[in-house]
Amino acid sequence: MGADIALAVIGVCFVAPLLWLLLAAVDPQAGYQTKVPSAPSTANFSAVLTPELLFQPLANSLWLSAGTAVVNLLAAVLAAYPLSRYQSRFNKPFMYTVLFGTSLPVTAIMVPVYGLFVQLHLLDSMAATIFFMATTTLPMAIWMTKNFMDSVPLELEEAAWMDGASAMAALRTIVLPLMRPGLGVVFIFVFIQAWGNFFVPFILLLSPGKQPAAVSIFSFFGQHGAVAYGQLAAFSILYSVPVLLLYALVSRGMGNSFALSGAMKG
Amino acid sequence: MTIRRVLRLLPVVPSILLLLLFLVAPVAWSFYASFTNASLTGKAAQDPQWVGADNYARMFSDDSFPLSAWLTVVFVAASAVLGQNVLGLLIALLMTRSRKVVSSVVGTAVVAAWVLPEIVAAFAAYAYFNREGTLNQLAGIVGVDGVDWLYSFPLVAIILANTWRGTAFSMLVYRAALADVPRDISEAALMDGARGWQRLTFITLPLIRSSITTNLMLITLQTLAVFTLIWVMTAGGPANASTTLPVLAYQEAFKFGDIGYGTAVASVLILLGMVFGALYVRLLRERRP
């Protein structure tokens, strides 16, 4: 009973900062005060439901995140295959180097990355931003993918090799279908990270037409003087829903530990 | 035979290329540029000059760097090591003793703050700590006069906000670790008459020690890199009172256009990350059976 009460108090503290978001979204007269709207309406939602404000930025987010996840998954699957299937004295050092790479603070490399992008004339390029974002999550993805691949028994491929299938054919027809749930986890994991990423597109993408929702949301935040509180809240909710759903999808299947399986399994 | 072995490693090449181009090269360039006067605009933008250790010398004579390094230490220690870590462990422990409904509802609330996109969490935290925000409204209910948190206590506000945002990770780690603690060990201790605190300090904590160290390492690294939350809440202000190292590197490089000095600050941050990263890898290696 004591534990229940203590836990409930903590839970209330965690929910409190989110109340404003939920209430302001349906309050056309929202400010920074948390109050039950006197005349709740969906006016804020209809105000932001326009091509320039919502759909274009969300489409950009989708394109960036899906692109990042695809590039990431392709590279990670290819890299994980030899690491999982063949014994080599390079495997261990490589895996530990990769693990080491997961701990580089990405905010610290943004200044040099900006410099690199200027030198290579890649600034404001969606494709280059996708490749960069894919690389920042690649170490984690390789690590997770290899762990998932290790759990597919090698015997299944050996039969295919006997029949003359190449390694890549065995990977495509036998290993990948068997680890589909694991691949889904890695894909969604990378997708969620890219979707929520603010700093990288903020630095690397300049034209408003290319900016994802994480960056365009800023136009509600006092850029033109007054803050459109209600619209900011409504937009935040619409922008957050996809990742909340994806997270729920993954955590239901994986018992909440999906995000940790890559980091905590040695 | 050797050729076949090399060919087998071929699929790793795309990953290696990506990592070399987008991670290793920027890190190398960062260390190089930190010894130049490279800038965003002007003459030094076209033709940066080698200035030796000038940027580093300036860093230690300047007031902003030592302040910022100190703020980073306080921010990481208070919000990650103390806040997220201790609160995460506490929640996980309480969950083992509470009803399933309560623990899953609270678990969802804690995780929600973590799964939300960082910028949305930052806006919510900004509104919460605002002069007219929820926190002061709650204080008003119990008759306490609110203060302007973001102006008077910016570091406290971002420490609390980061604890709110990041505790879910530690909670998940510790829930998994506690689930692995064999039940009969703590039951045997209970039979021997060990009290709650004793069981916690002499049995449970030693058993999950490796999870604790790994978790500390990871959340330290994550917190070291926090930018968006701080930038939205206080933008490093007022008067640098919440300028941690990532914010300082950003300001110097992009606001003041001083890429050389900005990369010097970033290089310090990268070095810090490398130290913690190396420790982390060592820890995991030792844990391997």
| DSSP, res A45 | H
- HSE on the CB side for A32, CA within 13 Å? 20
- The reply to whether residue B273 touches residue A107, judged by beta carbons under 8 angstroms, is no
- The reply to whether residue B119 touches residue A15, judged by beta carbons under 8 angstroms, is no
State the smallest CA–CA distance between residue A104 and chain B in angstroms: 5
pLDDT top residue among B149 and A33: B149
Residue keyed to tokens 């998994």:
B176
Give pLDDT tens digits for A114-149.
988 888 899 999 999 999 999 999 999 998 899 899
Q: What is the mean pLDDT of the segment spanning A175-194?
A: 90
* ipTM given for this complex: 0.89
pLDDT top residue among A4 and A224: A4
Q: What is the mean pLDDT of the segment spanning A215-220?
A: 82
Residue keyed to tokens 């410099």:
A115
- The answer to whether residues A80 and A118 touch, using CB atoms and an 8 Å cutoff, is no
Omega cis (within 30) before B246: no
Mean of the per-residue pLDDT values for chain A?
86
Task: Find the closest chain A residue to B211 by CA distance.
Answer: A264
| Identity of the residue in B119, B218, B273 whose CB atom sits nearest the CB atom of A108 | B273
| Chain centroid offset of residue A157 CA | 32
- Beta-carbon neighbour count of residue A166 at 10 Å? 10
pTM: 0.90
Helix axes A56-85, A180-196, angle to 10 degrees: 140
- pLDDT above 90: residue B110: yes
Q: Which of B64, B44, B82 is nearest to B252 (CA)?
A: B64
Provide the number of CB pairs (under 8 Å) joining chain A to chain B: 278
A55 touches chain B (CB under 8 A): no
- pLDDT above 90: residue B171: yes
A110 touches chain B (CB under 8 A): yes
d(CA B174, CA B103): 14
- Backbone CA torsion sign across B183, B188, B192, B198: negative
- pLDDT above 80: residue A224: no
User: In chain B, which residues have their Cβ closer than 8 Å to the Cβ of A176?
Assistant: none
- pLDDT above 50: residue A81: yes
| Identity of the residue in B21, B103, B253 whose CB atom sits nearest the CB atom of A111 | B253
A192 touches chain B (CB under 8 A): yes
Q: What is the mean pLDDT of the segment spanning B132-154?
A: 86
Residue-level pLDDT at A151 = 86
| Chain centroid offset of residue B55 CA | 26
d(CA B130, CA B116): 20
Give me the residues of A, 224-263, that contact B with CB < 8 A: 229, 232-233, 236, 239-240, 243-244, 247, 251, 256-257, 259-260, 263
- Beta-carbon neighbour count of residue B148 at 10 Å? 16
- The reply to whether residue B225 touches residue A221, judged by beta carbons under 8 angstroms, is no
Length of chain B: 289
Disruptive mutation site among A87, A91, A111 for chain B (greatest number of B CBs within 10 Å): A111
State the smallest CA–CA distance between residue B199 and chain A in angstroms: 17
d(CA A52, CA A58): 10
Give pLDDT tens digits for B55-96.
898 888 888 899 999 999 999 999 999 999 999 999 999 998
Residue-level pLDDT at B39 = 82
Give pLDDT tens digits for A68-80.
999 999 999 999 9
Q: What is the mean pLDDT of the segment spanning A25-32?
A: 81
pLDDT band per the 50, 70, 90 thresholds, residue A188: very high
Among A106-110, B190-194, B262-266, name the one with the lowest average pLDDT. B190-194
State the smallest CA–CA distance between residue A213 and chain B in angstroms: 10
Residue keyed to tokens 């509104």:
B127
d(CA B273, CA B75): 15
Mean of the per-residue pLDDT values for chain B?
88
Q: Cα dihedral angle (A63, A69, A74, A80), rounded to 10 degrees?
A: 170
Give pLDDT tens digits for B175-186.
989 888 887 777
Structure-token pair, residue B235: 């933008």
Q: With H, G, I as helix, E, B as strand and everything else as coil, classify residue B50.
A: strand
Residue-level pLDDT at B200 = 83
- The reply to whether residue B33 touches residue A256, judged by beta carbons under 8 angstroms, is no
Spell out the SS3 assignment of B107-157: HHHHHHHHHCCHHHHHHHHHHHHCCCCHHHHHHHHCCCCCCCHHHHCHHHH
- pLDDT above 70: residue B216: yes
- pLDDT above 80: residue A249: yes
State the smallest CA–CA distance between residue A158 and chain B in angstroms: 16
